[in-house]
Homo-oligomer: A and B are copies of this chain.
Amino acid sequence: MTKFHHTLNCKDCKSKGIIFKSLCNEELDMINQNRFEVSFKAGEIMFKQGTPSPHFLCLTKGLAKIYIEGRGKNLILALVKPVEYIFGPGVYVDNRHHYSAAAVEDSTACLVDAATYKLLIRQNPDFADEFIKRVSNQAIYNFEQVISLTQKQMPGRIADALIYLSEFVYDSNPFEMSLSRQDLADISGMSKESAIRILKDFKDEEILSIDGNSINILNPRLLKQISETG
């Protein structure tokens, strides 16, 4: 994990997230003065559940997973790609991370002091609205996730994960999956072996073609149907 100051100013940052659109130049300066950039190699942990949480993290390059560490198993809540940010609920509660984050691919991120961020939320109602909107969207997504995990059977859950990967994470089909099978299992809340078996079933039914980590969704319609019928 290398720490270094970025030469760019936030005002000029090409990878500035849309979250910052409601901030004026002065406010962006404030963020700029309280930030530093960090890079992570694939596999490295970015922060760990239970540790103090003093930062807002904006992913500028790579891919990260955020996951809850349960009893032996992990549950991946979401994958985060540029330019999205991670700002856990602990910041407003107990200053602790309630989930861990790790780099799935080599990544870089901007860290901003949480206090600065909270101050801006108080100062700028548009920014606050944007933030609440974002938190709300996340909550809604979590509802769908819980229903998927608790009420769908394994094929439905794997279908959900594959659709999520293709449509929201890699934004393409076919796609090269930078996740391990274990990660896929951790997204879908099942054992690695089960995840592999379902993938194979999908391959046998010619819903997918799989070559190592390259996945091609051959029958998106059927996959969506499996997702819906659970």
Contacts and interface: CB of A to CB of B under 8 A. Distances in A.
Contacts of A142: 139, 142, 146
Interface of A: 68, 70-71, 73, 75, 77, 89-93, 98-99, 118, 121-123, 125, 128-129, 131-133, 135-140, 142-143, 145-147, 149-152, 189, 230
Contacts of A93: 133, 136-137, 140
How many copies of this chain does one complex carry? 2
Nearest to A69: B147
Majority secondary structure of chain A interface residues (helix, strand, loop or mixed): helix
Contacts of A139: 89, 98, 135, 138-139, 142
A92 B122 contact: no
Given A132-B121, A140-B98, A143-B98, A150 B189 contact: yes
Contact of A149 (B135, B137, B150): B150
A151 B89 contact: no
16 contacts: A71-B151, A75-B151, A77-B143, A92-B132, A93-B136, A93-B137, A93-B140, A98-B139, A98-B143, A121-B125, A132-B135, A138-B139, A142-B142, A142-B146, A146-B149, A150-B150
